[in-house]
């Protein structure tokens, strides 16, 4: 190996070893998830908002985002920018919310958006892998021709 090649290998190796990415998260499979709840609307009809409407996540940490829809209308969690910045471990469909909830389905692999039916709950397990901001919205269209996003169902996600 030439001297120049040895120097290049040494530089690349030290950059990799000193990079914060090399130390991020440790063994991600053994992390306890950080639970974050997002309600899609309220009990009252016609309430088209996310509660809370601002979420912040950190790269390298495992999250369980509990999406609950207490309203009488179905809602979507749509955010291509968010989806492109996370690794989805799984999505669990639950029959209820709380201590007695039972898992009735599980999705693995890439997720583009999640639809939650009235009274439904879904748990989205993910690890953010890239920083940035993402808008989340609901694109359901009501009989009046307006989407839930038009009526205020939009939020912001920040990944640090």
Report whether 93 contacts 105 (CB < 8 A).
Answer: yes
The reported pLDDT for the residue numbered 20 is 46
Domain 27-159: assigned CATH number: 2.60.40.420
- Whether the Cβ atoms of residue 125 and residue 28 lie closer than 8 Å to each other: no
Q: Give whole-number Cα distances, 60 to 65, 80, 86, in Å.
A: 15, 19, 10
pLDDT-based confidence at residue 5 (cuts at 50, 70, 90): very low
Nearest alpha carbon to residue 94 among 52, 63, 136, 65:
65
pLDDT of residue 22 exceeding 50, the answer is no
pLDDT tens, residue by residue, 44-103: 667 889 999 999 999 999 999 999 999 888 999 999 999 999 999 998 887 777 677 777
Q: Residue 38: name the closest of 1, 85, 80, 70 by CA.
A: 70
pLDDT computed for residue 127 by the predictor: 95
Q: What is the pLDDT of residues 89-144, one digit of tens each?
A: 998 887 777 677 777 788 887 888 899 998 889 999 999 999 999 999 999 998 89
């Amino acid at each position: 190996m030439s001297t120049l090649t040895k120097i290049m290998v040494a530089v690349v190796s030290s950059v990799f070893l000193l990079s914060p990415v090399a130390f991020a998260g440790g063994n991600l499979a053994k992390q306890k998830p950080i639970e974050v709840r997002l309600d899609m609307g309220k009990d009252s009809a016609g309430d088209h908002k996310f509660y809370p409407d601002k979420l912040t996540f950190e790269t390298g940490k495992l999250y369980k985002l509990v999406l609950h829809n207490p309203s009488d209308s179905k809602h979507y969690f749509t955010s291509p920018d968010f989806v492109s910045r996370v690794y989805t471990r799984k999505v669990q469909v639950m029959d209820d919310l709380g201590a007695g909830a039972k898992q009735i389905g599980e999705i693995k692999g890439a997720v583009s958006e999640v639809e939650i039916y009235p009274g439904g709950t879904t748990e989205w397990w993910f690890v953010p892998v890239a920083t940035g901001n993402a808008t989340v919205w609901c694109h359901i269209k009501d009989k009046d021709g307006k989407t839930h996003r038009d009526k205020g169902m939009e939020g912001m996600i920040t990944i640090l």
